[in-house]
Amino acid sequence: MSTFNSDFRRSTVIALLRIEGLLILALGLLLIVKGLATSGAIEWFVISGILALALVGGFGLLFAAKGFQAKRMYGRAPAVLANLIAIGVSKYIFEAGFWWAALPLTLYAALTIYCAISLVPEKN
């Protein structure tokens, strides 16, 4: 039973990290396209910053998911750190009055953190 629970949490955290990584990449692309479509209302260094953060964040989470899939623990710290940051961001989203966006983000991040932390590293 313990193995099933561990396998379920592992597959859950892999799926959550993949979804989160793809969403960050898509959001970065959307912000870049929106910035370029506003006919020069956004500076090139802002676009390059968005691109860098989206690429590092998105591919970092996809790499963390790959680590969990390979049953290695090198993906644990980036997954937990990224989702702790997401909880902090959701606090500001909530304070801005968008509770309907902050609540799912908080729950998603908390579930990902729980699944990532609760997995016990396997001995080789």
Q: Is residue 99 part of a domain?
A: yes
Q: Is residue 109 part of a domain?
A: yes
Q: What confidence category does residue 120 fall into, taking pLDDT thresholds of 50, 70 and 90? A: confident
Q: Is residue 21 part of a domain?
A: yes
Q: What is the DSSP string of 45-102?
A: HHHHHHHHHHHHHHHHHHHHHHHHHTT-STTHHHHHHHHHHHHHHHHHHHHTT-HHHH
Q: What confidence category does residue 123 fall into, taking pLDDT thresholds of 50, 70 and 90? A: low
Question: φ and ψ at 39, to 5 degrees?
Answer: 50, 60
Q: Is residue 101 part of a domain?
A: yes
Asked if 17 and 61 count as a contact pair (C-beta separation under 8 A), the reply is: yes
The number of folded domains in the chain is 1
Q: Is residue 124 part of a domain?
A: no
Measure the CA–CA gap between 68 and 18, rounded to whole angstroms.
11
The 10s digit of each residue's pLDDT in 20-79 is: 999 999 998 988 888 778 766 677 788 888 889 999 999 999 999 999 999 888 889 999
The 10s digit of each residue's pLDDT in 64-86 is: 999 999 988 888 999 999 999 99
Q: Is residue 123 part of a domain?
A: no
